[in-house]
Amino acid sequence: NAGVTQTPKFQVLKTGQSMTLQCAQDMNHEYMSWYRQDPGMGLRLIHYSVGAGITDQGEVPNGYNVSRSTTEDFPLRLLSAAPSQTSVYFCATASEYYNEQFFGPGTRLTVL
């Protein structure tokens, strides 16, 4: 079992470009979430999903979209990249929102 996988590992974008960060899990968990991690800020929740077809905003949703068409996949879309979105992005999954979360290895994004 791969657990939680994220692609790409690294990405450089120019301001205004769009892209999708991929996240997939094979743990059959209902709860999935996206975080960004910036120095001194800890992880901040961007969006989360409690099951296929259900998504909701976290703490810092602006500039990002998500969808959850299957249990396994939870892609994060950057609509028009900005330098403020330079960060490390982690996808996570849990059997329930209040349980242990399992993280993917992260995507390091730089927006120039």
* Interface with other proteins (CB under 8 A): 31, 33, 35, 40-45, 48, 50, 56-59, 90, 97-101, 103-106
Kindly state the smallest distance separating residue 49's Cβ from other proteins, in Å: 10
Between residues 18 and 99, which has the closer beta carbon with respect to other proteins?
99
CA atoms within 13 A on the CB side of 40: 0
CB of 15 to other proteins, least distance (A): 25
Q: Which is nearer to other proteins, 18 or 41 (CB)?
A: 41
Instruction: Give Cα separations from 66 to 15, 32, 84, 111 (angstroms).
Output: 20, 11, 19, 19
d(CA 34, CA 31): 11
Nearer to other proteins, 44 or 77 (CB): 44
CA distance 29 to 43: 21
In the complex, the smallest distance separating the C-beta of residue 78 from other proteins, rounded to whole angstroms, is: 20
